[in-house]
Chain A
Amino acid sequence: MRWCRAVWLAWAVLPASAAITVTDDRGQALTLPQPAQRIVSLLPSLTEGLCALQACDRLVGVDRFSNWPAQVRQLPQLGGLEDTTIERLVRLQPDLVVAAVSARALGRLQALGIPVLALEPKSLADTRRVLDVLAQAIGKPGEGERLWAQIDQGVNAAAARVPPALRGQTVYFEVASAPYAAGASSFVGELLTRLQLVNVVPAAMGPFPKLNPEFVLRAQPAIVMATARAVAEMPGRPGWSALKALQAGRSCGFAEARYEMLVRPGPRLAEAAGLIADCLVTLDGRKP
């Protein structure tokens, strides 16, 4: 009899409590008894996502690289991916930690009984999904999709601003000098595709492949994009002075703070698309 009552109680009570179950990028399901109220984020794109979902005030700690919006800089910093300060984190008594799948702290945090969501957006579709998971975790289901719709609209608006003359032009986007490029399959590449540019690094080469510098020369991209500093030193690289895009000044050198937007798969992607569009408009205007 007691058993029956327990089942009835569970049936009656569970739907009433706002338990939330979400699945993270490791395929692990996490059940939260209520929407997360004290959140630690250990990845900048996730920090930005939470803030864009109007949950910035629920953040109690962030990693050392989270720097947007400005208010998260006031929060306790808990180290980086490989040196997360576990005790400090535990002391903050978070009811949810969101971190990259590759974060070394994941196992330790779970062993300590802290609810962890491992999320690592790598593509635009990932970004959409991650925003949705975050929105569910904070008890705002549907907000993620709404936010994504805004981002999507923003990207479309940016795409509409791309000067017709530059549509279909080839582009080389450098993420690190070695050189590493953003390939067509990366989220940066997807963004460039949405802006109707053609990536010289095909999807088959992987998201962020290390290139032979000669590859870029042979490809002769119509436009070159990188940080302002990288663009400035490019002509000095052996042979790269022969890059026609550099000779003609058809390059977009982004300032570090703005470049950050371009390489974080988070809510500022629309703004990032706008940055690229701005640069393209400027390039078009300069054309003789």
Chain B
Amino acid sequence: MNRGSLSLARPADHPALTPGRLGALLALLAGLVGVLGLAAGSEGWSWAWAEDRALIQAIRAPRTLGALAAGALLGLAGALAQGLFRNPLADPFLLGSAAGAGLGVVLVLAAGSVLAAHLAWQPLGWLSQSGVVLAAFVGALGGVALTLLLAGGAARPLKLLLCGVVVGVLMGAVSDLLLMASPEALRGRQMFLLGTTGFLGWTALAWLAGALVLALPLALRFARVLDALVLGDASAASLGLSLPRLRLLLVALMALATGTAVSQAGLVGFVGLVAPHLVRRLVTVTHGPLLLLSAAAGAVLLGAADVAARSVIAPQELPVGVLTALFGGVYLLVLLRRQGSGA
């Protein structure tokens, strides 16, 4: 590990904060975000919950819970990515899932409009609309699968990372090419990839929660692999771990978490990058607690961003992806500056 990454991930200005206490604090914050989320209405804050019951039930509740769940998935995926690549700047979208999701959406939209035009069969156009969420999910997983295929498995992290970049560029190019042939899909892609929590309903929440329930326990169970990886591949292998297979599993979990979040909430940047950072700055922990706390931090971050998106310029709404990118960018900048002055 190089010095830069060590100090970027520097633990510890807060010795009083134990992992347990941080967990409790995050749980409290998540609860607070939950309550605020139920109150952040379209006309500003509204605490008349009896009056707004229908609205809360149909819109605010699934949206708030959905933002928390998507944030948790991104936080978890980010912690997995940073552990897997031993790189504090690793991001869950790194392995081609973002570009894959984009390509999936474009493919379905373009195919829908072309088929609808040529076969003059209108329902196809509609099919393409409802198939978009599924396409984004499949595309995200497909992007990661292609990366794995090109890298010949997950044995060599650096190669995997480079292949991720290549896949991202290639898939981006292919979807741009498709957009030339079917410009109508452009708007669809733009719309879809703009990170937003505004359209999360109960169905979306079910998907997000399902992925979380599946991915989090599995990730925790294999967290010790990430601990062993910190010591380097050779040491990890000497502990009797079958690295390629375990890495593959962790990449798959990361892809599942990222793909689900992208397909429901679009490309919400920086949550996956920043959440593990925050946790590592506050406490020194092994990967087990780190994964759990990162998921919690991601949930709080995206939940808070969702509430802010709704209330900052109410009754208008900000796309939540814009807020997380702003916050994440400023956070990293502050981190870098502080590190620069401290060194």
Q: Is the Cβ of B183 less than 8 Å from the Cβ of A206?
A: yes
CB-CB contacts below 8 Å: A72-118 with B: 76-77, 79, 81-88, 90-91, 101-102, 104-108, 111-112, 118
**Nearest chain B residue, comparing its CB with the CB of A80:** B191
Q: Which one, B68-76, B275-283, B312-320, is touching chain A? A: B312-320
**In the complex, chain B residues whose CB is within 8 Å of the CB of A28:** 126
Highest count of chain A CB atoms <10 Å: which of B122, B180, B192, B198? B198
Q: Is the Cβ of B315 less than 8 Å from the Cβ of A107?
A: no
**Nearest chain B residue, comparing its CB with the CB of A113:** B58
Q: Is the Cβ of B43 less than 8 Å from the Cβ of A91?
A: yes
Q: How far is the CB of B62 from chain A (nearest CB, A)?
A: 10
The answer to the question of A38 belonging to the interface, with a C-beta cut-off of 8 Å to chain B, is no
Q: Is the Cβ of B192 less than 8 Å from the Cβ of A104?
A: yes
Q: How far is the CB of B107 from chain A (nearest CB, A)?
A: 15
Q: Is the Cβ of A88 less than 8 Å from the Cβ of B184?
A: no
Q: Is the Cβ of B199 less than 8 Å from the Cβ of A86?
A: yes
The answer to the question of A187 belonging to the interface, with a C-beta cut-off of 8 Å to chain B, is no
**In the complex, chain A residues whose CB is within 8 Å of the CB of B121:** 27
Scan A14-25; emit 1 where CB is below 8 A from any B CB, else 0: 000000000001
A76 partner, pick from B55, B58, B315, beta carbons under 8 A: B315
The answer to the question of A210 belonging to the interface, with a C-beta cut-off of 8 Å to chain B, is yes
- Known A-B contacts A77-B316, A112-B59; the reply to A88 vs B42 at CB < 8 A is yes
Q: Is the Cβ of A27 less than 8 Å from the Cβ of B123?
A: yes
Q: Is the Cβ of A81 less than 8 Å from the Cβ of B123?
A: no
Q: Is the Cβ of A107 less than 8 Å from the Cβ of B130?
A: yes
**In the complex, chain B residues whose CB is within 8 Å of the CB of A81:** 187, 191
The answer to the question of B246 belonging to the interface, with a C-beta cut-off of 8 Å to chain A, is no
| Complex Cα–Cα for A36 and B196 (A) | 30
Q: How far is the CB of B314 from chain A (nearest CB, A)?
A: 9
Scan B293-323; emit 1 where CB is below 8 A from any A CB, else 0: 0000000000000000000000111010000
The answer to the question of B19 belonging to the interface, with a C-beta cut-off of 8 Å to chain A, is no
| Complex Cα–Cα for A112 and B122 (A) | 24
**In the complex, chain B residues whose CB is within 8 Å of the CB of A208:** 183
Scan B103-123; emit 1 where CB is below 8 A from any A CB, else 0: 000000000000000000111
Q: Is the Cβ of B55 less than 8 Å from the Cβ of A26?
A: no
B317 partner, pick from A79, A108, A206, beta carbons under 8 A: A79
- Known A-B contacts A77-B316, A82-B191, A102-B191; the reply to A87 vs B41 at CB < 8 A is yes
CB-CB contacts below 8 Å: A147-183 with B: none
| Complex Cα–Cα for A210 and B319 (A) | 29
Scan B181-204; emit 1 where CB is below 8 A from any A CB, else 0: 001100110111010101101110
**Nearest chain A residue, comparing its CB with the CB of B186:** A102
Scan B145-187; emit 1 where CB is below 8 A from any A CB, else 0: 0000000000000000000000000000000000010011001
Q: Is the Cβ of B199 less than 8 Å from the Cβ of A107?
A: yes
| Complex Cα–Cα for A50 and B121 (A) | 27
| Complex Cα–Cα for A118 and B130 (A) | 13
The answer to the question of B242 belonging to the interface, with a C-beta cut-off of 8 Å to chain A, is no
Q: How far is the CB of A260 from chain B (nearest CB, A)?
A: 18
The answer to the question of B60 belonging to the interface, with a C-beta cut-off of 8 Å to chain A, is yes
Q: Is the Cβ of B199 less than 8 Å from the Cβ of A79?
A: no
Q: Is the Cβ of B125 less than 8 Å from the Cβ of A82?
A: no
The answer to the question of B5 belonging to the interface, with a C-beta cut-off of 8 Å to chain A, is no
Q: How far is the CB of B102 from chain A (nearest CB, A)?
A: 14
Scan B39-69; emit 1 where CB is below 8 A from any A CB, else 0: 0011100000000000100111000000000
**In the complex, chain B residues whose CB is within 8 Å of the CB of A105:** 199
Q: How far is the CB of B258 from chain A (nearest CB, A)?
A: 20
A interface secondary structure, majority? loop
The answer to the question of B339 belonging to the interface, with a C-beta cut-off of 8 Å to chain A, is no
Q: Is the Cβ of B122 less than 8 Å from the Cβ of A25?
A: yes
Q: Is the Cβ of A102 less than 8 Å from the Cβ of B184?
A: yes
Q: Is the Cβ of A83 less than 8 Å from the Cβ of B196?
A: yes
**In the complex, chain A residues whose CB is within 8 Å of the CB of B286:** none
- Known A-B contacts A91-B42, A105-B199, A112-B58; the reply to A85 vs B129 at CB < 8 A is no
| Complex Cα–Cα for A91 and B42 (A) | 8
| Complex Cα–Cα for A76 and B316 (A) | 10
**Nearest chain B residue, comparing its CB with the CB of A112:** B58
| Complex Cα–Cα for A144 and B190 (A) | 33
Scan A26-37; emit 1 where CB is below 8 A from any B CB, else 0: 111000000000
Q: Is the Cβ of B317 less than 8 Å from the Cβ of A91?
A: no
- Known A-B contacts A91-B43, A102-B188; the reply to A84 vs B198 at CB < 8 A is yes
A82 partner, pick from B58, B60, B180, B190, beta carbons under 8 A: B190
| Complex Cα–Cα for A107 and B133 (A) | 11
| Complex Cα–Cα for A102 and B194 (A) | 14
**Nearest chain B residue, comparing its CB with the CB of A77:** B316
**In the complex, chain B residues whose CB is within 8 Å of the CB of A86:** 59, 198-199
Q: How far is the CB of B70 from chain A (nearest CB, A)?
A: 15
Q: How far is the CB of A183 from chain B (nearest CB, A)?
A: 11
A85 partner, pick from B60, B183, B187, B316, beta carbons under 8 A: B316
Residues of B at the A interface (CB closer than 8 Å) are 41-43, 55, 58-60, 121-123, 125-126, 129-130, 180, 183-184, 187-188, 190-192, 194, 196, 198-199, 201-203, 315-317, 319
Offer 29 A-B interface pairs, CB within 8 angstroms, sorted by A: A27-B122, A28-B126, A79-B316, A81-B191, A82-B190, A82-B194, A82-B196, A83-B198, A83-B317, A83-B319, A85-B198, A85-B317, A87-B41, A87-B55, A87-B60, A88-B42, A88-B315, A101-B129, A102-B184, A104-B192, A104-B199, A105-B199, A106-B129, A107-B130, A108-B201, A111-B201, A112-B59, A207-B183, A210-B180
**List of 6 A-B pairs having minimum Cβ-Cβ separation, nearest first:** A27-B122, A26-B126, A88-B42, A82-B191, A87-B42, A108-B199
